[in-house]
Chains A and B, each alone.
Chain A
Amino acid sequence: SAVISQKPSRDICQRGTSLTIQCQVDSQVTMMFWYRQQPGQSLTLIATANQGSEATYESGFVIDKFPISRPNLTFSTLTVSNMSPEDSSIYLCSVRGGDGYTFGSGTRLTVV
């Protein structure tokens, strides 16, 4: 199955700023998925990123807040814009591989 590297692994950011999270996969994949995991909660799908087209966002998530880039088949970025303390979460990327889906280890974001 694919191996995913996420950067940064964690960050502490000031409110009102933006953070871009990178997701690198060791093989070419058509779809990449971004999830959010709020403290003590389950994972929530943010959007699906296809190479060469606009990302598809789930209900409750908008492009202005979570812009996504997908420049090639092995890389994607998620930006958390104009952050507030409510954005403090773990953000994970995922790709389809093997018998299921492979997840990165996540980016732990704290907004102060």
Chain B
Amino acid sequence: DAKTTQPPSMDCAEGRAANLPCNHSTISGNEYVYWYRQIHSQGPQYIIHGLKNNETNEMASLIITEDRKSSTLILPHATLRDTAVYYCIVRGAGDNFNKFYFGSGTKLNVKP
């Protein structure tokens, strides 16, 4: 299963865009990229996912490079409530299709 690599922490000013990078260089053609976040003492919360194309929803945008070896989660206007650990996950394929393997995540600190 593909592994993900994320910076351990990032800072962002409130109201600015937060760009969270993720490397997944061993991803295979049918594996999806998912992003979740975990606010302290809560279960992980779904943000967005994609396969090849860029995706946008009410929470965030996901930019996947053409070779699919990396992606960036964009929170367009970060608020203090966006302070959390953000996990980039490559969903397993084949027998592992229904499994999530979490990486170490990025702690995003949104500052006033």
Contact = CB atoms under 8 A, between A and B. Distances in A.
Contacts of B41: 106, 108
Interface stretch (A11-19, A40-48, A65-73, A74-82): A40-48
Interface in A77-112: 92, 94, 96, 98-106, 108
A68 B41 CA distance: 24
B103 interface: yes
A31 interface: yes
Contacts of A1: 46
Nearest to A98: B46
Interface of A: 1, 4, 31, 33, 35, 42-45, 48, 92, 94, 96, 98-106, 108
Contacts of B43: 4, 92, 94, 103-106
Interface stretch (B13-21, B22-30, B73-81, B94-102): B94-102
Contacts of A43: 44, 87, 100, 102
22 contacts: A1-B46, A33-B100, A42-B87, A42-B102, A42-B103, A43-B87, A43-B100, A43-B102, A44-B102, A45-B100, A45-B101, A45-B102, A48-B98, A92-B44, A99-B49, A100-B34, A100-B36, A100-B49, A103-B44, A104-B43, A106-B42, A106-B43
A99 B98 contact: no
B99 A48 contact: yes
Contacts of B48: 99
B46 A105 contact: no
B53 interface: no
A16 to B, nearest CB: 27
Nearest to B44: A103
Interface in B35-94: 36, 41-46, 48-49, 87
A108 B42 CA distance: 10
A104 B41 CA distance: 11
Contacts of B9: none
